[in-house]
Chains A and B, each alone.
Chain A
Amino acid sequence: MRRRTFIAGAGTAVAATAGCVGYTGGNEGDGVVTVATYESFVDSEESIGPWLKENFEADHDAEIEFTVPSSGINQYIRRKQEGADIDADLFVGLNVDELIRIDDELDEQLFDSIAGDLERSDRVIDELRFDPDDRAIPYDTGYISLVYDEREVEPTTFEDLTDEANRGELITQNAQESDPGLAFLLWTVHEFGADGYLDYWQQLEDNEVRILGSWSDAYNAYTNEAADMVVSYSTDQVYNGDTPRHQVGFLNDQGYAQPEGMARFADAPDADAATDFIEFMLQPEVQGVIAEKNVQFPAVDDAELDDEFASLAHVPPEPVTFGYDELAGNLDGWVDEWARQIVE
């Protein structure tokens, strides 16, 4: 219930600031900007998509249309490989692992570099930039953390997770299919190194770690009290309130950052309008609304965030993450080795 109260408050704030979203310059196209994105961008309880459409169209001479490709970015990689039309202008919701896959699979450019076309690209927080070629521009980030029941456990370090007292109490996700699951795996690689993470996982296995499929599988099991810790997002309390069963835990004071990016297709039918939309997404007021509705954190250093949101959405003292260069050439191997160790 708490979340609804909060969102209602945010709604008023949005209405107040919407009129003064300052940005109106740039390229005035007259076409339709087709934005390819993921489901919850348009279909969640307080999805950001409709708000962006309404407010962008209010001061731009362009129409926004959303499309949710069934296989995400793979849809466009396959289209490029098969010589089929790319019928979208930009992709919103790109992760670094997907960017690496694009570059592994395609010789030609799927997206083009746009940082030079953007007035506000220098406001993007440096630590969140994950594309050395500036094709993908971050628009928000999540932090992977633990959610735990403070009446039962008190995880503060990686060692705590392998402690006998916490046997069978950690639920995580399959790193092959789940974003938070992959982030947690990479977090352990970050902590223990490529030579050490499998040993750590052996200890987790010995301590009966539960590896379910998707985020919803894991969270569903946690909700039904199958264990007292689950790998999830540091924004958990925005949904569930600050209750004993919804405490956010940062291991070694860290959280693994998972920035989401947007990129313009090299073949964008309406490239100028697409660039305008990306610029719009980086405005301070818009960044605040994206963070609150998408329940993520802003990607620019001057976003306007509601105080109550900030009090429920926790930022780790020390955010960690791997960039493109560290992951390229390593990612598949790390995940494959992990999967083999778990099932064999």
Chain B
Amino acid sequence: MARSRRRVDTPFLVAGLVTAALLVVMLYYPVGSVLVEAVFADGRLSLEPIRVVLTDSLYFGDLAGVFAGESPLELLRAVLAGEASFGRFGFTAYQAVLSTLLSLAIGLPGAYVLANYEFPGRRTVRSLTLVPFVLPSIMVAAGFAAMFGINGPLNRALSAVGLPTVELMFTLEIILLAHAFYNAPLVVRVVAAAWEGVDTRMVETARSLGASPRRAFLDVVVPQLAPAVLTSTLLVFIFTFMSFPIVLALGGFQLATVEVFLYDRISRLQLEEAAALAVLEAAITLGLTYAYLHYERAQAATRGVAAKSRQRLFARVDLERLAVAGYGIVIAIVFVGPIVSMLLASVLDANGAFTLQYYEFLLDRRDAVVGTQPDVAIRNSLAFAVGTLVLAVPMGVVVALATARDTLSARVVGTLAMLPFAVSGVVVGLGLLQTVVFGVEVFGLQLQVTGAVAIVAAHAVGAYPFVVRTVTPALSSMDDRLVESARALGASRTRALLDIELPLVTPAVAAGAAFAFAISIGEFNSTVVLVEGGDAYTMPVAVQRYLSDRTLGPATAMGSVLLVVTSVSFVVIERLGAYGGIE
């Protein structure tokens, strides 16, 4: 995989420097200002805060004793007797593994259907897969509690057909379902992009050489999908490992994740413990990322790309199409039901009567002298999302190119690139607050970074790992000889990228870009800090501000507006992309 990198083009250099500068100002420095607490005690360098957390049974259960120096035999005995506990970290990892498996189970069939079948509205459905990703937890909680409540639509449907009802509230199962609601669409999106790029000629070749459909699938299709499946597995694990508000919104404190305690320690300004927790969380997620990158490089298979042909879904009825119909029912229960319930929650008062009062409230708020205006929030959200897309895609592509090699440094840079996902959002928020918002003295100048530009920069930093993660596997599996030939024929590195590489990885770039847009729309922790009294607030910030300890109505109405505006813009973007030749 030798790439000639001696001569670096100016556009590359500029993009690289801008990326590095943004990362330092909006991520490394702010996050460092918080995490430094983990390695200081009484003003001296020390690992004491981390040791305290490692040896606390609240966080590590029986493992805490081993960290404290006790014999591991006792732990082994407990494990064998089935009575070992691993504290909050153990539970957090456990629920993340289950959430990831469920997300894959729901997401992979979706990717298959989207990539292999043609049906009316396929593109629209694909556009809308990202909608769950941006929804504030208050909306998802409202939708899930209504849909899966004891008297909710699911249970009424079950009893109508004579089946026993299910009690899901306050259980681990409903948390897993909510995590799948957020993350299965991610699996669909990333894997479908890879599936659409599978070289069908290779499948045909295998078949013509006598391979059974199953053999051809296992030997030809699976290796080409593996990087995308594993990428999404990694992302889903990280996201559900860091899960916070939804766990306590539906499950309960007995099911608290590490992030719940981290949030508490930050709110109570117990910053040493908070920093130690954040460092350990990041160590786990980044460790997994590193291991994954090792695998990804080893897997990278050279391949070409050929256009995909799809079967018509409604052409006939067969076993496979019946399975697809069954899958449709699952989707209706896990996705459509909660979303419809969310929208309903915004037009029902606490006694279940129909009301439009919360939308009247939003309309009235447009003229508010003081406070948050919904129309401003909509405008800001869309503008920031477009800005993020424009910034994050080049950032992601540059980092992807820099790391699409199998070297130690590429793996380290690739691992660090995931930092925005690996560090708790509340830590990033606090870091931004106490550095760029409070002001930093640079060469005697007091510098402050707040407002719209800062928010777009923070969103781009939070979003570019998606572009990296979707584009890198596609780049590493591309035939290097294509670029080398172009370079040999005199094309500059930038020219080769624009003319050869990018067109070949377009589906991956488009998936990354769509995620960048979605991350920006949904981002809360950094945005709310960087708004800082100004009018650069976004839709999720407005949802939070309309939420009070007295009534849920206005927040669910604003959340519904967010849902509708986001859905429409995803569809519009996809259509524009189709015009621009990005399928």
Contact = CB atoms under 8 A, between A and B. Distances in A.
Interface string B541-564: 000111111111111000000000
B152 A216 contact: no
Contacts of B552: 216, 219-220, 223
B526 to A, nearest CB: 10
B145 A68 contact: no
Contacts of B369: 50, 53
Interface residues of A, number: 63
Given A211-B252, A216-B547, A217-B248, A77 B438 contact: no
Contact of A344 (B58, B247, B529, B545): B58
A318 B232 CA distance: 56
Interface of A: 1, 4, 39-40, 42-45, 47, 49-50, 53, 66-71, 74-75, 77-79, 82, 84-85, 101, 105, 174, 176-177, 179-180, 210-217, 219-221, 223-226, 233, 235, 239-241, 243, 245-246, 295, 332, 339-340, 342-344
Contact of A44 (B146, B253, B554): B554
B145 A174 contact: no
Return the 9 tightest CB-CB contacts between A and B, nearest first.
A213-B248, A40-B548, A211-B253, A84-B438, A224-B149, A42-B371, A176-B264, A217-B249, A224-B145
Interface centre among B252, B254, B361 (most CB of A within 10 A): B252
B547 A39 contact: yes
Nearest to A181: B253
Contacts of B548: 39-40, 43-44
A179 B370 contact: no
B269 interface: yes
Interface stretch (B38-46, B126-134, B349-357, B572-580): B349-357
A343 to B, nearest CB: 6
B528 interface: yes
Interface in B251-274: 252-254, 256, 260-261, 263-264, 267-269
Given A43-B372, A332-B268, A344-B85, 20 more contacts: A1-B357, A39-B548, A43-B545, A43-B546, A43-B548, A66-B370, A70-B531, A78-B438, A105-B269, A174-B260, A176-B261, A176-B267, A212-B252, A217-B250, A225-B149, A226-B149, A246-B350, A343-B253, A343-B256, A344-B58
Contact of B351 (A214, A243, A339): A243
A40 B351 contact: no
Nearest to B547: A216
Given A44-B546, A213-B248, A240-B351, A70 B554 contact: no
Interface centre among A1, A44, A78, A177 (most CB of B within 10 A): A44
Contacts of B252: 210-212
A44 B557 CA distance: 13
Interface string B375-409: 00000000000000000000000000000000000
A226 B170 contact: yes
Contacts of B141: 216-217, 220
B25 interface: no
Nearest to A223: B350
Nearest to B553: A45
A107 to B, nearest CB: 14
A214 B261 CA distance: 14
